[in-house]
Chains A and B, each alone.
Chain A
Amino acid sequence: MAFGPYFLLATLEGLVTAAVLSLIALGLSLVFGVMRVVNVAHGEFYMLGAVLAWWVASLFGGHPAIGFMVALVLSPLVVAAIAFVAERLVLSRLKYEPEATIVATIGLLYIIQQLALTFYGPEARPVEAPFHYRMQLPWFGYSAYKLAVIGFSIIMMLATWFVLTRTKIGLVMRATQFDRETAQAFGIPVGRVYAGVFALGAGLAAVAAVLIVPIQQAHYLMGHDPLLLSFIVVIIGGLGSLRGTVLAAVLIGLSDGIISMFFSPTLAKMLATLAVAMILVFRPQGLFGAAAR
């Protein structure tokens, strides 16, 4: 294949990765930004979103779009509810101590993963895409659904941005992020805000999972790779900086797509990890993160 079409395909693939990755990493970054909690179980909320999507979609007959749309609404809500309960039962009782919450979320990771293995099983199960359309370009074909994933992911990110910057809920969240004690002094129910943010973060991961599950199948181990990649993204973008997270996701997604196509996927992962190391050495707060106050 000539360079042009080759590059186009690499870019498209990279953008799909970036779209999904930015949703997952946005959730992770939000939780860290507001709560200062490193959520190691984030990848499992993503997996749970995919598994629930399969379950919801399999309940509906008829056109596959019906089951998919219901899953797109229900699955993130259920995952958010589970995250809410986990936050209230576990994290809030640990008083959000950084070391304790890391260990607790590692525990959560294994609990969710093994429950999925027990009740969902070890199989990879597909969810049917809401529509099948194959675009025939002169050099290769491409799935139109993948482009829809990019579009929907952009809408979701704009919605998150809108909630955070233009609504009262967002204001409360930002106030809590800026200074927890002052926010509390102004009567903001910090505990409930934390639970809400944790649920929102998990919900975003679940949305990403529902979008990806018609392309890849739901599997109980699918949370590993996205967790690793979103940590890379969040560290490069700056922990807690949403703008940085999205930019880093696009950067990592595109470079992953292009490098892995022209060279090898292993090299892409190596370079991403190297970038993390460099950022940690030379700019520990990340590209857009504010220095510690």
Chain B
Amino acid sequence: MSENRKSLINLNSGLTRRSALKGLGAAAGLVAAPGFVRYGQAQSSEPIKIGFQCHRTGIGAAYGRWYERVTTAAAKRINDAGGINGRPLEIIIEDDGTDPKRGAEVVEKFANQHKVDLVYGTLFSHVVVGSAPAAGELKIPYYVVSEGYHVASGKMNRYCVQPGITDVKAQARSMAPWIAGNLGKKVTLVYPDYAFGHDHRDFFTPAIEAQGGQVVAKVPIPPTETSFTRYFPQIPRDTDVIYHVMVGPAVLTFVKEMGEFFGSGGPQLFGFIDSLEAVDIASPGLEFLEGSHFWEGMPRYAQSDQPDYVTAYREAVGIDENGASVNDAKDVSTAAHMFGCWETLNIIKASMEACDYKGPDDRAAMIEATEAMTEMEAGPDHPQGKKLFNGKIHQVFGEQSISQVKDGKLEVVHRTSIEDGAYEPEADYTAMSF
């Protein structure tokens, strides 16, 4: 027994003084070798690392898939044009499972393990709300593509910015006049029962009342619900318009069951395209949607009058004229939201170039550079349309599309102006310290 133990010890102690010295010498030689010089020199050739907090799994997976594709396409375009300040862009992806707790962990992992320059790309509002404090504590910029009103509300922190997509408050406000003027004044709201849905409830209600309309009923639905018919009887008979917005893997069931319940003889339907993102409008059972209207951040279907830069954008992100993947016609995109990734990355590039970003020490300067932005012209960098950024509330304002289902496709029938969605800022991030 003791012999055995001895031999084991002998076998394991392979590290002699000689080999240790050799190893040390080799390591010293490596550090001195020409290949390592670049770390000592300026960071000019080191890539700028962006941590992409992606909903690869969980209820946001369909959005995550397309956010990832658009991010990859936008990063490629930036790199092909020479990168940011001459440095290439590197996107590092971590899955947050569309879960707020995991989201905060991912932000920490980006800051401490991947040592990224900034974190970007979150969509679901509960994940943003859960992750933003971590970004604030770690003092790392957090560029979200989320739509929620939480950034503009002033409740996040100075590191949290939303420059590439409009928020629900602006969207709901700009929809209300058109709904009251064209569809009807008695509206029932059907919305997911969490932060994002509550934003719709809280901002659409005063907006429609300002137009002389009223919300006759509010139907909140848990975002993990899989069966919806049971909620529809809560919709009063005298409703003119159903304003619906739904998220999660069960959206197709939601719309289908709404069709089964009302048929084509029910109230007018006005939906946020969220209720049908990544779902083919030509799916069986959705025929009743013909003639109904949807909000779209950016049109899913190629429009006859679209500018060349939109065509180029659609080609770059790989969607066909029906808004589905060019590789798989059944893989429908989240076109109404994913443009935000493209635009946000371009704004990150512009901000970094404006402050001559060198590394993590310039993070505050970068946020200030974004805050200083105002008008953004429509074009290859902003294919969705022109925008106006408000540095005080870290929120961008833009135009919205209202589309009608015609022959199973969405056709833009009205485009709202930036002023339609504008509202008084309720906060001032620039007064907060870094």
Contact = CB atoms under 8 A, between A and B. Distances in A.
Contact of A134 (B62, B260, B283): B260
A62 interface: no
Interface string A11-23: 0010001000000
A9 B250 CA distance: 21
Interface in B387-429: none
B250 A141 contact: no
Nearest to B55: A122
A141 B57 contact: no
Contacts of B181: none
B260 A142 contact: yes
A261 B64 CA distance: 33
A129 interface: yes
Interface residues of B, number: 30
B87 interface: no
A141 B263 contact: yes
Nearest to B285: A132
A132 B61 CA distance: 28
A211 B225 CA distance: 18
B334 to A, nearest CB: 12
B57 A117 contact: yes
B384 to A, nearest CB: 25
A154 interface: no
Interface in A1-33: 1, 6, 9-10, 13, 17
B56 interface: yes
A217 B285 contact: no
Contacts of B139: none
B404 to A, nearest CB: 23
A129 B283 CA distance: 11
Contact of A13 (B225, B227, B250): B227
A140 B261 contact: yes
A10 B285 CA distance: 22
Contacts of B64: 122
B86 interface: no
A265 B225 contact: yes
B325 interface: no
Contact of A140 (B61, B232, B252, B284): B232
A107 B285 CA distance: 39
B226 A225 contact: yes
Contacts of B260: 134, 141-143
B233 A123 contact: no
A122 B232 contact: no
A247 to B, nearest CB: 22
A219 B230 contact: no
A10 B61 contact: no
Which of B57, B225, B230, B262 lies at the interface centre, i.e. has the most chain A CB atoms within 10 A of its CB?
B230
Given A123-B65, A225-B226, A128 B284 contact: yes
Interface in B41-72: 56-58, 61-62, 64-65
Interface string A124-156: 101011001010100011110000000000000
Contacts of A92: none
A143 B258 CA distance: 11
B206 to A, nearest CB: 26
A257 B230 CA distance: 7
Given A140-B261, A217-B253, A122 B230 contact: no
Given A13-B227, A123-B65, A6 B263 contact: no
Interface in A94-120: 117
B248 to A, nearest CB: 8
B141 to A, nearest CB: 28
A216 B227 contact: yes
A260 interface: yes
B263 A217 contact: no
A147 to B, nearest CB: 12
A34 B61 CA distance: 40
Contact of A141 (B262, B283, B284): B262
24 contacts: A9-B230, A9-B233, A13-B227, A122-B64, A123-B61, A123-B278, A124-B62, A124-B252, A126-B283, A129-B284, A132-B285, A134-B260, A140-B262, A142-B229, A142-B261, A216-B250, A217-B249, A217-B253, A221-B58, A221-B249, A260-B230, A261-B233, A265-B222, A265-B230
Given A124-B250, A215-B227, 16 more contacts: A9-B230, A9-B233, A10-B230, A13-B227, A122-B61, A124-B252, A126-B252, A128-B284, A129-B284, A141-B261, A141-B263, A142-B260, A215-B253, A216-B253, A217-B249, A257-B230
